[in-house]
A = this chain, B = another copy of it.
Amino acid sequence: MPKLVARAYTMSLDGFAAGAGQDLQNPMGKGGRGLHQWAFATKTFRKMFGQEGGSDGMDEGYASHADDNIGATIMGRNMFGPIRGPWNNSDWKGWWGDEPPYHHPVVVLTHHAHEPIEMKGGTTFYFVTEGLEAGLKKAFELAKGKDVRLGGGASVLRQCMKSGALDELHLVISPVLLGTGERVFDDFADTAERYEVSKFEASDKAVHYILKKR
């Protein structure tokens, strides 16, 4: 059975997946860039953005395997861009330039219909307006038997854990405090016992946890 997984999903020590105040200058919100230092330092991420070098070791191990057996990605609209409300003929095509680092179909959950956007390198953005369940169905169809990766944001992750749709979470805790932002583990009273930590280990930049559904 294909699985729904979240990988390299990064949270601050105080529990936030992104800082407050997301906008064009701060795609990850205020302080959000510090959150992802562990990833930006890896060979895999540097290569993704056309840069040389980068770290080997534990962080690189996780980064380089994050897309293993992934056939499609699903994400909330805020992860796709800073636009809220109707698209108003915006030509926004995501944060990632002409050739996004996905190289597979990406389902974007939104309340506002939009034609698919085909990018270079195999990424096509599909927009689903009928809710999370319809979005997951579409993503699994597009993944053609492979797993689906949940990109974010925190509210989509929370919903998928609450419904039990998420099979596995690779959570990374960065040693930073953000103070405010999007809280990952919120209103989780009935959800916490569904998941357990099967493994954790620390690199010099972050702590990696694997959570699995019980």
Contacts and interface: CB of A to CB of B under 8 A. Distances in A.
Interface of A: 13-15, 20, 171, 173, 175-180, 184-185, 188-193, 195-197, 200-202, 207, 209, 211
B175 A179 contact: no
A178 to B, nearest CB: 6
B202 A201 contact: yes
A197 B13 contact: yes
Contact of A189 (B179, B188, B202): B179
Q: How many copies does the complex hold?
A: 2
A188 B31 CA distance: 14
Given A14-B185, A15-B15, A176-B197, 4 more contacts: A175-B197, A175-B209, A177-B196, A180-B192
Contacts of A196: 176-177
Contacts of A175: 197, 200, 209
A184 B185 CA distance: 13
A179 B66 CA distance: 27
Contact of A207 (B15, B184, B185, B207): B207
A189 B197 CA distance: 29
Contacts of A191: 179
A207 B173 CA distance: 11
10 contacts: A13-B197, A13-B209, A14-B188, A14-B192, A20-B189, A176-B196, A176-B197, A177-B185, A179-B190, A200-B202
B207 A195 contact: no
Given A15-B15, A197-B13, A177 B202 contact: no
Nearest to A191: B179
A25 to B, nearest CB: 19
Contacts of A180: 188-189, 192
A139 to B, nearest CB: 26
Contacts of A189: 20, 179-180
